[in-house]
Every structure is written in C-alpha cells, then in structure tokens.
Amino acid sequence: MELRTLLESDVVAQLFEMVIAGYDTTSATAMWAFKHLSNHPDVQKRLRAELQNAMPQAKGRYPTTQEIVALRVPYLEAVIQETFRVSMGASAHARTATEDTVLLGHVVPKGTNVFMMMNGPSFKSEPFAIRDELRSKTSRESKDETKGWDFSTLGEYRPERWLVKDEKGHVVYDPSAAPQMLFSLGPRACFGKKMAFLSLKITLVCMVWTFEMLEVPQNLNSFLGTEVLSRTPIQRYLRLSEYVH
C-alpha cells in the first residue's frame, strides 16, 4: 500500500480541526451545561434520579467509564441535546453556492456565501411565516415534520421537549423532536458529533453523580457569552456541594 506523505498544511488543518471540534467546543458546552443545571435544580434532580435508577450497582462509588458509555437514559440524552441547542457553540453554518439558485424567492448567484443562522427565529424564537409558493418542492413536503414542536418555548431550557412516547407507551429520546442544527446535516455534517456527545455525556454524569450544582449569586450568574473559538460564557462560576449517595 502506498502511503501519502502529509503536507505541513494538511497537518495544520487536522490539528486546527481537532482544537475546535474536539476540545474548545466541548469545554465551552460543558460550562453552559453546568450553568443551566445550576439554574434548573428540578432538571438536575431528575437527571440524578434517572442516573441512580440506571446504575444501582454504582451506589457508594464512582461509575466507571464503561458503565457511563453503556448508559441508555432518555432524559440524559435530552439534557445533552437541549444543552447543545441553547448553548450555541456556533451561531451559524456557512456554505458557498456552487450554482445559481433561488432560495425562498431570493436569487442566490453562484459563489455567494450563505450563512444559516442558529441564534434567531426557528431556533430561539418562533419561525417566520413563509408562503408555500416560495418554498421548494422538498421544503413543502417536509414542513409538516415540525408538527408538535412547541415554538413558543424555544427561548427556554426544557430538556423534556426531546422526550416522546413510542408505540408501546415508553418514554424515549427523539433527536428530531425540536429544531437543532448545531452539527449541520447531510454529507457535510460535523464528523466529531459522536465524540462531542460522548465527551459531554461522561462529563455530565461524573459531575451530577458527585456534586450538587447550586445557583450562584445573580451578579455572577450572567448568561452573556463571548465568541472565542466557540461561544463561551463570560461568567464561569460554580457553587458545588458534594453529593452523598
């Protein structure tokens, strides 16, 4: 087998991708998760109870990495997805039009950079009304897939929005139950998505299993963010109390 010699530019590109997708975004999202759980003790309490029910064998000790990876707890998946949704590690995706096209009635010439925002209507507030005649055929066919979404609460942190009942009446996690495009979609979707979910899963389980995250004083509890490599909270404070099982 012939091995291709990596160019210096290839190595730099790979390292840059790992820093952004593999480290900075995950650490920033973990900070947002701690802030939201601190401010929503009901969510934190329910998550801890669900984890304890799922891992009774770990009572009195720390769960192992293998136990955490094997966890199938719908509410945990919902908390992770909701955290990704509201934290907005990235505020937009950018794509370059490869041909002349029309998007919702707007002419988009070839070569135009199109930014798909994730911090406004449809993601953080109710969507704009769009006339059917402006939609493409596939857009008209798929618009009913959002039926049941509660657009009025998109500005709130509600993990339960990702939970639905299956045909047997069991509560399950549904990744399509609300708007989410942080990792993009299709063939150009983020290749680090599974790693991000796993990293945040391990981090959250360890924190919730070990500590109670208490709300911090209001003057230290701002939810304003700043753009570094990814969107990071400006105030990163925690009040922790060791949880005794």
- The residue among 207, 206, 181 whose CA lies nearest residue 64 is 206
Q: Tell whether 141 is covered by a domain.
A: no
pLDDT digits (tens, 9 = 90+) for 153-183: 988 999 999 999 988 889 999 998 888 888 7
Q: Is residue 65 part of a domain?
A: yes
Q: Classify residue 82: in a domain, yes or no.
A: yes
Q: Which pLDDT score, from 0 to 100, does residue 5 have?
A: 58
User: Which of these, 245, 242, 200, 201, lies nearest to 61 by C-alpha position?
Assistant: 245
pLDDT at 19: 64
**Is residue 121 situated within a structural domain?**
no
- State how far the Cα of 216 lies from the Cα of 239, in Å rounded to an integer: 6
Q: pTM here?
A: 0.85
Q: What domain range includes position 235?
A: 8-89+156-242
Question: What's CA 206's distance to the chain center, in Å?
Answer: 18
In a domain, 146, yes or no: no
Question: Sorting pLDDT into bands at 50, 70 and 90, what band is 245?
Answer: confident
204 within a domain of the structure (yes/no): yes
Of 154, 123, 156, 147, nearest to 36 (Cα)? Answer: 156
CATH classification of the domain holding 216 = 1.10.630.10
pLDDT digits (tens, 9 = 90+) for 99-149: 999 888 889 999 999 988 888 888 888 888 888 888 888 888 877 777 778
C-alpha of 143 from chain center: 22
Asked whether residue 3 is assigned to any structural domain, the reply reads: no
Q: Is residue 129 part of a domain?
A: no
